[in-house]
Structure 1
Amino acid sequence: MHLFAEAVVVETIPITRQGYEKLNQELSRLKAVERPANIRAIEEARAHGDLSENAEFHAAKEKQGFIEGRINDLEHKLASANIIDPSTLTKDRAVFGCTIRLESIDTGDEVEYQLVGPDESNIDNGLISVTSPLGKAILGKVPGDEVVLQAPGGKRSYELIEIR
């Protein structure tokens, strides 16, 4: 009889210090403010009597499930976080944390993005995930390289103009 030990692989998630702190602040707020307020809401609703027709009780219990799920999610993300300081990384290639400027080959329009982890991405703020299709297409490129993205509306081509 052979016994095999299963290796547990924990995938790390790249994140900037700012992104880590933002997730940590949300976790603290959920634990210190949201969870206790929800517990009080459940207790108050429970005091109103018949729980089978108590909409406030059911809403508070539903919110409790959301809060606990988000706490678990944040704890997992923070435990798996690999905090990367972009200032220590190379600037000759597009890598996590760098800011890049792209020019559309079709229109000449320019856009600027910082490559961040999936939990920090916010396209409206110029933050794209390294795991997104565009982020993956940019990684490893150098200024002058063409970046090709297969988008739902068709192929888009950009030139990488600058890395900071």
Structure 2
Amino acid sequence: MSDLEGQQLTAAQRAALEAELADMEGPQRAAAVAAIATAREFGDLSENFEYHAAKNEQGLLEARIRKLRHRLHNAVTVEHTSTDTVGVGSIVEIEDEQGEKMEIEISSVGGVSPDSPLGRALMGATVGTAVDVPAPRGAWQATIVSIRSS
């Protein structure tokens, strides 16, 4: 979901994004304003690199704040507590064709997105299921070893 509409988040994931937003709107925003004020004291604004850099940083921060607000406003909170099937919030151990195991969390916040090729392949699958995962370098197969909730 490129525009983040209807994104599924667990309560913990929502709380993490809300904490990040609060930090950005509080201490980080105050620091950006202070940096601009300090840079203004350096003189002529047309040739003041520090001022332009501080304004640029403030613009990036404000864009991130808008993005997070939009994401939280449009997100749907879900609680997937089942260990029978993979869903948003599941922690899944998979094994690839070479026998290598990895543990992943299905999450739009710091994990494997449910909208990614791997996430789509795993969603709704059960333990013991082999799933085909499309990838740029060629499809690969993963077997679900275990599922637990986060």
Q: How many residues align?
A: 145
> In the TM superposition, what is the alpha-carbon distance from 1:129 to its structure 2 partner?
1.3
Larger Rg: 1
Bigger mean CA deviation after superposition, 53-62 or 32-41? 32-41
Letter in 2 for 1:101: E
Q: Is the 8 A contact 2:80 2:89 kept in 1?
A: yes
Q: Name the TM-score, length of structure 1 as normaliser.
A: 0.79
> In the TM superposition, what is the alpha-carbon distance from 1:63 to its structure 2 partner?
0.8
Output the CA distance in 2 between the equivalents of 1:101 and 1:37.
41
> What is the SS of the residue equivalent to 1:128?
coil
Unaligned 5+ segments in structure 2 are: none
Unaligned 5+ segments in structure 1 are: 1-9, 122-126
1:161 matches 2:145: yes
- The within-5 A match list for 1:79-94 is 79-87=73-81, 90-94=82-86
> In the TM superposition, what is the alpha-carbon distance from 1:96 to its structure 2 partner?
1.7
Q: Which residue does the alignment assign to 2:15?
A: 21
Q: Name the TM-score, length of structure 2 as normaliser.
A: 0.86
**1:45-64 CA deviation, whole Å, 9 max, x = no partner?**
22332111101111111011
> In the TM superposition, what is the alpha-carbon distance from 1:162 to its structure 2 partner?
2.4
1:69 matches 2:69: no
Distance 1:85 1:41, change over 3 A: same
> In the TM superposition, what is the alpha-carbon distance from 1:21 to its structure 2 partner?
1.6
Q: Which residue does the alignment assign to 2:35?
A: 41
Identity %: 34
Output the CA distance in 2 between the equivalents of 1:99 and 1:35.
34
Q: Is the 8 A contact 2:5 2:71 kept in 1?
A: no
